[in-house]
Structure 1
Amino acid sequence: MSESSAQVRDAARLWDEHRHAPFPDSLRGAEGGTDLWLLDLYTAGCVVTWLDNGGTLDAENSRILQSCLEDLQQVIPEINEPAAAQYYQRLHQLALLVATNLAGTK
């Protein structure tokens, strides 16, 4: 199995875990000027697109994913609720898996 295939498999497993986790109700709204619900939505959209396309994203989704990664890195340290922090750390890990795979294919 290639490294790329392993990353897609790992991301699919992590995505399955993430999509079954409830969204933290305490975070419906903005944190540090970032709407966390929209951040989740945009990041998840890029992850699903990447998985559906066998590990590729177009330029626009790559840009969106990079923006989401930057936002996640800023907001995660501000989340004080353990379950909510875990939710966004998993989302960040997914985004990193996708971004790392994209960087390796450019």
Structure 2
Amino acid sequence: MSGTQPADPLARLWEEHERALFPAGFRGADIENVELVLVDADVAGLVQRELNGGLDDSGVSLLWACVADLGKIVPLIDDEYCASYFARLLAMAKMAAVRCSPTAT
């Protein structure tokens, strides 16, 4: 890393997320049938694809599904670090999903 932050807010959030450790004790955990490791991996892959050229329709659909799942589980997480980790993941997923959505005319 260069020490300078990218101008793109999504890229900045992605860099911050890359440096964060997955919450200890939550590997293999699921909340409301959402597997935390899988939703983390899905969002990470989709955000990288968006940053590297954009998502196709199926990627956008999967990203919105991740947003829905994260919106459901983040309020239920009672560990402070884990909650902040997944809140950041949710913010990043929303930011990427909105970028992929057509604007109203």
Given the two structures, how large is their TM-score scaled by the length of structure 2?
Answer: 0.86
Q: For residue 52 of structure 1, what is the aligned residue in structure 2?
A: 52
SS of the counterpart of 1:27?
coil
Deviation per CA, 1:15-65: give whole Å up to 9, x if none.
000011000022212112110000000011100000011xx2101111110
RMSD between superposed Cα atoms in Å: 1.5
| Higher normalized contact order (CA 8 Å, seq sep 6+, divided by chain length) | 1
Could you tell me the percent identity over the aligned residues? 33
Cα distance in 1 between the residues matched to 2:24 and 2:34: 15
Unaligned runs of 5+ in 1: 1-7
Give the aligned length.
97
Answering whether residue 94 of structure 2 is matched by residue 71 of structure 1, we say no
Letter in structure 2 aligned against 1:41: A
Given the two structures, how large is their TM-score scaled by the length of structure 1?
Answer: 0.85
Unaligned runs of 5+ in 2: 1-6
SS of the counterpart of 2:101?
helix
